Structure formats: C-alpha cells, structure tokens
Amino acid sequence: MEFFRESMLELIIQTSTNLPPDVRQAMGQALETESPGTQAGQALAIIGQNIDMAYDDEGPICQDTGMPTFEIKTPVGVNQIEMKRVIQEAVAEATRRGKLRPNSVDSITGKNSGNNLGPGTPVIHFEQWEEPTIEVRLILKGGGCENKNIQYSVPCTLDRLGRADRDLQGVKKCILHAVWQAQGQGCAPGALGVCIGSDRAAGYHHAKLQLFRPLDDVNPDPTLAKLEAEIMEEANKLGVGTMGFGGQVSLIGCKITAANRLPAGYFVSVAYDCWAFRRLGMLLDAESGAIRKWLYWDPERSVERLIGKGAGFQLTGREVRLEPPLDEEKVRALKVGDVVLINGPLVTGRDAVHHYLMHNDSPTDLRGAILYHCGPVMIKQGKTWRTNAAGPTTSIREEPYEADIIKRFGIRAVMGKGGMGKKTLAALQEFGAVYLHAIGGAAQFYARCLPKVLGVDLLELGTPEAMWRFEAKDFVAIVTMDSHGNSLHEDVAAATGAELEKAGARG
C-alpha cells in the first residue's frame, strides 16, 4: 500500500477544492435560471466565480471544510487498521497545507486539536465487498448545513402544512418543510439526502449516504423516483432562492431511500447539504493503494467553468462605500437591499468570541466596527499569516448574544450569512446598526477581499475561533436587516411560508 497515503491526500485536496461536475452543472443551470439583477442572481455570480477560483488556485471552496467522512469498501483481507492510520495522517497533512480547516473541537474543553484528529474525527466507515479493488468516497459537509439536518417522527404536525401522516403524502410534507425551515441558513440552493424509515441513528446515516448519489441519476425505485421529481418541482416553487434571498432555485438535488422500520416508529430523516456540495471518490489498487479511477470526476476532461455562464460579480456603481469605523448617521441611512463595498478594518468573531465577549472586555476597540461572523482558514508562513479561505458563517447561532454585544461594544454592523432573529433586529433599531449578508461559502472570493492581516487576538481559541483583524478591500455584502426594523429574512420566510401552504394544499 505504498501509494495509499498519496491517494488519500489527493482525494482530500480535490474534494475540498474541486466541485464535482454534477454539482458544477447544477450550479451552472441555477446561474442561467436566476435573473442577474436580483439579489439571488448577484449571490450566484459570486458563488460561480468562487467555484472557478477554488479550482484554479487549489484553495478550499468554502472555509468550513466540514466533518471529513470516508465511506470505504475493501476486498476481504485488506488491513483496515492500517488504512485508518494512513487516512488520519493524510487528514493531518491536508490540514497543515490549509486544504482543510482545523475543525475537530473537544466537546468538553472546547480545545481545537488543530489537525482535524480527535475522538470521532475524521469519520471512517468500512464495509467489505466482493470486488478486487478498494473504493473510497469522501464527503466534506460543513456545519451550517449540518445544523439544518432535520428528523421527523410521523405522525406529526408541521408549521404551515398541518398533519403529516405515515404515508408518502406525509413524507412529502416533511421534506418540503425541511427545505423551508432551512431558508438560507444552510447556504441554499441545497441538496437533500433523505431516508424514510429505519431508526433515529441509522436513518440519518442512510440519509447522508444518499448524498453520494450523482445529482443526475434516476432512483431505480419508480415510487421514490416520482417522489424525488415532485419534491424538486415543489421545492423550487417555494421561492427560498440562493442564500434565502428569494428566487427560483432553492434545491439542486433530492435523493431518497427507504429502509425498514420498527412498527412503532416512522422517521423521515433529512440530510441537508449546501451548494458547496463537496464529495468525490476513487477506486484504488488493493495491493498498492494507487488510484485506478476517479469517481464523479474525470481528470482527463476539462472542468466546466462557470464564468461563461454568468458567474463573476459586476459592480454597478450604485454600491454604498463603507469605511469602518462607521458612524450612526451613515449606518441609519442604509436600507435592506443596499449593496455595500467595505474598505478598511474588519474584525472576526464567531461562537467562542461571542461567549468571551459576554464575560470579558474586548481585546480590540469595537466602536463603529463591523463584526464579521467568520472562521477563516489561515496559514502561517514564517511570522506572517495568510488568509486561505474566509467566507461567512451562519449568524443565527449568535442570536442569544448579539444584541448585548452591539449595545456593550458600540458595534455598527454585524456581518455573516443566513440572517438573525428578532432580538438582534430590535437591537439594530435601538442602537443604530445593520446586518450585512456576505455570500455563504464564497471563501476564495472573500479571501481575496482580505489582503492584509492586521493582527489576531484570542488565538488560544483556535484559528477558526480567534479574533482576526483584517484590512478589507472592496468586500461586497448586502444589507438584509436595517436599523428601521426591516428584515429581508422575515419577508422571505413569510412569502415562502405562504407558498408552502399552497404546496401542502396541492398534496
């Protein structure tokens, strides 16, 4: 198995940086469907540009490289213990090279292991098969979309849809509800893996395995094939759109399986993956571990570029220029829908920083600041830090803290993705601040908008959680919550909720 380590490293690097052709094609279709003048169209233009940039520079497509999950089939007699050890080595090396973000956090102490290794990480599942080769498939599914996974125990009563029974109509209601509840927080447009039946734990596992099916395949079970097609049609009528900005493309795939269940239990488990739907695989020689064939991707064929399909953000001249520190008057003049271009200092803060600030003073002055919800991938070269990926993280996790932090530290803008709730909206109104929406997953695009690292505090929290100070250059974002009580997220949730009701009535 002298080539196995090299093969695993290549699999990890390609999965993190090279979106598979079926997903690329679906995103190309989304670009062609959505009108370029809309917020969803603008977001897709950035996403498409980001996908091309990631491939060109071999950088992570999204800064959240997720929970590396390997599904492996081996012939009888292959040493799985040795394979596991080598995969762990490859994961640590890919992390060192900045292709994976250090994402393995001790659940008791909160300490990041720094190399993606630790109890339960990475996830490696083995199975034996009768073939002479080894098959390895890898999925990198990030935390934002993982948080939008959902499991229903039917019969149940669903918001906007009423009762879901133990039949295919009930299942359909659950799946449509899953798309609606995700809104933009899982970086729509998304792809679903669904399991009908099984138990709670295995149901989620079967659902995730469905994400390994190519987006353009057809379910061999005609009943499930029909259900998948119906979900695709109905979900894309809801109007969630890219990033939850409203729009015509909410879902790029829906793959469903069924497993037997206990008589007393009926679960519908939904694994929601974002547009940065990173999964690849390979067949390996069982003796040497050398790559025999890639799955999903053919390295001999040229990669379909999205730039020709409408990708690439275009300035219109109507953007509002923001140069922090911001004053109240400037911020109160902003309205939902304004596109802003940020030049000047940006400070990052996500879960651990918010927790820290609730109990401590800030290590840096935050008056007039833009607080960016971001856990970047950083690489240290000598004494200098380089930003390797820096898209926004899901803001709603900070909802319990943000209003207090805006008030205490005089922050004028919080920036992230997916929007925030009523408590933050009220604080924006009371203290004169806004919520800026950056485009989720556009980690390469935004890394280039943060050309200079000004400093870092709280590095002991781990690189994704530290408080980074960047110099921003033409950093693009959209105002989605303003200081006048307006929230695009509330508007889209209400409009899509009305569509969901109609879908439920259609049956």
Binding residues for ligand SF4, rule: CB under 6 A, are 62, 64, 66, 142-145, 186-187, 274, 276, 391, 440-441
Is residue 432 classed as helix, strand or coil in its secondary structure?
Answer: coil
For ligand SF4, which residue has the nearest CB?
A: 142
280 in Cβ contact with 297 (< 8 Å): yes
314 in Cβ contact with 293 (< 8 Å): no
Nearer to ligand SF4, 149 or 236 (CB): 149
- HSE-CB of 481 using CA atoms within 13 angstroms: 30
Nearer to ligand SF4, 170 or 349 (CB): 349
Nearer to ligand SF4, 186 or 504 (CB): 186
| CA–CA distance, 364 with 145 (Å, rounded to integer) | 31
Nearer to ligand SF4, 190 or 239 (CB): 190
Nearer to ligand SF4, 142 or 247 (CB): 142
Nearer to ligand SF4, 148 or 412 (CB): 148
CB of 440 to ligand SF4, least distance (A): 4
CB of 20 to ligand SF4, least distance (A): 15
Place of tokens 């933050």: 424
Nearer to ligand SF4, 154 or 271 (CB): 271
Is residue 356 classed as helix, strand or coil in its secondary structure?
Answer: helix
In whole angstroms, how far apart are CA 353 and each of 105, 362, 433? 15, 9, 19
Nearer to ligand SF4, 281 or 441 (CB): 441
- HSE-CB of 292 using CA atoms within 13 angstroms: 12
| Tokens encoding 430 | 């009371």
CB of 146 to ligand SF4, least distance (A): 8
Nearer to ligand SF4, 68 or 432 (CB): 68
**Maximum separation of any 2 CA atoms in the chain, in Å:** 71
| Residue 271 exposed, middle or buried by CB count within 10 Å (0-12, 13-18, 19+) | buried
| CA–CA distance, 121 with 176 (Å, rounded to integer) | 31
CB of 417 to ligand SF4, least distance (A): 7
In whole angstroms, how far apart are CA 191 and each of 11, 67, 216, 219, 372? 22, 17, 12, 15, 27
CB of 408 to ligand SF4, least distance (A): 27
Nearer to ligand SF4, 83 or 276 (CB): 276
CB of 493 to ligand SF4, least distance (A): 18
**SS3 readout for 91-157:** HHHHHHCCCCCCCCECCCCCCECCCCCECCECEEEEEECCCCCEEEEEEEECHHHHCCCEEEECCEE
Angle of helix 399-409 relative to helix 351-359, nearest 10 degrees, comes to: 50
CB of 106 to ligand SF4, least distance (A): 21
Given its phi and psi angles, is residue 410 left (phi above 0), alpha (psi -120 to 50 degrees) or beta?
left
| CA–CA distance, 328 with 126 (Å, rounded to integer) | 57
